[in-house]
Structure 1
């Protein structure tokens, strides 16, 4: 398959944003030097409130960008490909590295005292149920696996659906992205109650909406470069502003806060995040290079392994910039993310030189 150049740039950008999100979490949800956000949040001061809102809020497009890139490339499934062939190809690429890193996150932290034996055994014995306690970022793999499982189901519809039919689906998806706000301020909606979580738009909600949106952009969106630029900028700025402000206005320094409440506008399937993600994707689609520069293509190829391993490096750089050097928050968060990113590039590149490296880093 010929490389789609702008998607390589998006992979790198989204991978860095994931690291920026997790660097930011150390300034509002962390108890220790390398913890990510937990059920409760605490901001020390107004400076942390501002910069966490900006860096983390803007970066909330990271996960949806990965979803759109995967869908842009994979849907609809090739006609000559059976469901079994599709599953085998996709899962042989993502599952072995995923499982290896699940084990690594359950064992390696024993070496530097971040895990005790009981916790390590608990994590290992529960890997069939969920990700390890020190690898919260691996939650992403489960909705990705779900989308892969669903692609053969939705592909026949996407092959024959008209642009209008896809817009209808996307419209219902966009309405469903308002539900977190309705639940927050008005309570249960559209059939929800304590015995029923499946609201009226349940089957049009979640990351499936990004999958259909990606297909619509690739197949039906025939906008000029100028129009993509205008609308892309508008959506990016509006989405970023709403996402940043949704956290900032609630984040009172010096008070213990409920994280899900504080992050209500940071859920990846909210209207503001959809706008932010769609706008950024449209802006990247303006890249019209014939070939991907070698360095960009190489980092894009390594991005899956970088995502898997980055928490190992993140804790190190948090201890440097937050604890040892005590840099100002405005500088420390991007410094942590940049150093983590560079270490991941180097580490994954070195691993890629080993025989059978695809089973480790994809």
Structure 2
């Protein structure tokens, strides 16, 4: 299949944003040993409030961008391919590295005292149930696996669906992304109650909406480059502004606050995050180069490995830029993100020269 150049840019960009999110989380209630936000958040100063809101809020498109890229390439499933062939091809690529790094995150932190033997054994014993305690970023793998499982099921409908029918689905998906705010303002709605979480739009919600959105953009969206750029820019700006503001207005410096409360607008399936993601993706789709710079292609190819390992490097650079050098937040967060990304890229590139490296970094 011919390489879709703009997707390499999207992948590299999204991979960096994931690291930028986790760099920012060290400045509001990081859970110490994991370098990621915990259930409680605390911002010491107005500077932390402002720059965490901007850096982390803008970066919340990272996960949805990865979902859209996967769907853009894989949906609908090839007609000559069976369900089991699709599963075998996708899962032999992502699962071996995933399990290898789950073991590494359950054991390597023993070497520098980040976890004790009991925690390591608990993590190892639960590998088939959930991600290790030091690899919170691996939550992403489970919805990704779920989408892969569902692609053969939804592909026949997408092959036959008209643009209008897909817009109907996307409209219901967009409505479902308003649910967090409806629940905040009005409580339980559309069938929700303490014994039923499956509300009226449950089956149109979640990352499946991004899958259908990606297919609609690839197959049915006929806008020219100028329209994609202008509409994408507006959607990106509106989405970014609301996503950033949603955290800033709630994260009061000097107060300990529940993380899920102040992060309500940072959930990946909220209307503002969808606008931010779709706008950015449309902007990237305007790239019409026949070949990207080699560094972009390499970053794209190694993005899975970079994602898998980045928490190992992140803690080191947090120590350097936040604690040892004491840089102001405005500088510390991007410095942590850039150096972590660079170290992961170099490490993944070195590993790629090892025979059979696909089983380690994908």
> What is the TM-score of this pair, normalised by structure 1?
0.99
* Residue 143, structure 1, aligned to residue 143, structure 2: yes
Q: Are the equivalent residues in 2 in contact too, given 1:30–1:37 (CA < 8 A)?
A: yes
Any idea what the Cα deviations from partners look like across 1:252-308, whole Å, max 9, x if unmatched?
A: 011110000010000000000000000000000000011232221111100000000
Deviation at residue 32 of structure 1 after TM alignment: 2.9
* Residue 96, structure 1, aligned to residue 96, structure 2: yes
* Residue 183, structure 1, aligned to residue 214, structure 2: no
Counterpart CA distance in 2 for 1:186 and 1:26 is: 33
Q: Are the equivalent residues in 1 in contact too, given 2:302–2:345 (CA < 8 A)?
A: yes
Q: Are the equivalent residues in 2 in contact too, given 1:26–1:34 (CA < 8 A)?
A: no
2:8 aligned partner: 8
Q: Are the equivalent residues in 1 in contact too, given 2:65–2:281 (CA < 8 A)?
A: yes
Q: CA RMSD for the aligned pairs?
A: 0.7
Any idea what the Cα deviations from partners look like across 1:306-346, whole Å, max 9, x if unmatched?
A: 00000000000000000100000000000000000000110
- The SS at the match of 1:26 is helix
Q: Structure 1 residues 166 and 31, CA, compared in 2 at 3 Å: closer, same or farther?
A: closer
Counterpart CA distance in 2 for 1:82 and 1:171 is: 30
* Residue 193, structure 1, aligned to residue 209, structure 2: no
Mapping for residues 58-73 of structure 1, pairs under 5 Å? 58-73=58-73
1:358 aligned partner: 358
Moved more, 166-175 or 184-193: 184-193
Deviation at residue 61 of structure 1 after TM alignment: 0.2
Counterpart CA distance in 2 for 1:360 and 1:337 is: 23
Any idea what the Cα deviations from partners look like across 1:171-213, whole Å, max 9, x if unmatched?
A: 0000000000111121111100000000000000000000000
Deviation at residue 225 of structure 1 after TM alignment: 1.0
Any idea what the Cα deviations from partners look like across 1:54-111, whole Å, max 9, x if unmatched?
A: 0000000000000000000000000000000000000000000000000000000000
Counterpart CA distance in 2 for 1:14 and 1:44 is: 28
Counterpart CA distance in 2 for 1:263 and 1:107 is: 31
2:272 aligned partner: 272
Counterpart CA distance in 2 for 1:6 and 1:245 is: 29
Counterpart CA distance in 2 for 1:95 and 1:175 is: 33
Q: Are the equivalent residues in 1 in contact too, given 2:34–2:136 (CA < 8 A)?
A: no
| Corresponding residue pairs, total | 362
Counterpart CA distance in 1 for 2:52 and 2:34 is: 16
Counterpart CA distance in 1 for 2:91 and 2:278 is: 27
Counterpart CA distance in 1 for 2:258 and 2:41 is: 6
Counterpart CA distance in 2 for 1:191 and 1:97 is: 40
Counterpart CA distance in 2 for 1:273 and 1:281 is: 12
* Residue 38, structure 1, aligned to residue 10, structure 2: no
Counterpart CA distance in 1 for 2:202 and 2:177 is: 10
Mapping for residues 320-331 of structure 1, pairs under 5 Å? 320-331=320-331
Q: Are the equivalent residues in 2 in contact too, given 1:26–1:33 (CA < 8 A)?
A: no
Structure 1: 5+ residue runs without aligned partners?
none
Deviation at residue 29 of structure 1 after TM alignment: 1.9
Mapping for residues 1-362 of structure 1, pairs under 5 Å? 1-32=1-32, 35-362=35-362
Counterpart CA distance in 2 for 1:184 and 1:332 is: 33
Q: Are the equivalent residues in 1 in contact too, given 2:6–2:287 (CA < 8 A)?
A: yes
Counterpart CA distance in 1 for 2:317 and 2:80 is: 47
Counterpart CA distance in 1 for 2:184 and 2:100 is: 38
Moved more, 215-224 or 26-35: 26-35
Deviation at residue 33 of structure 1 after TM alignment: 7.2
> What is the TM-score of this pair, normalised by structure 2?
0.99
Q: Are the equivalent residues in 1 in contact too, given 2:33–2:134 (CA < 8 A)?
A: no
Counterpart CA distance in 2 for 1:81 and 1:29 is: 47
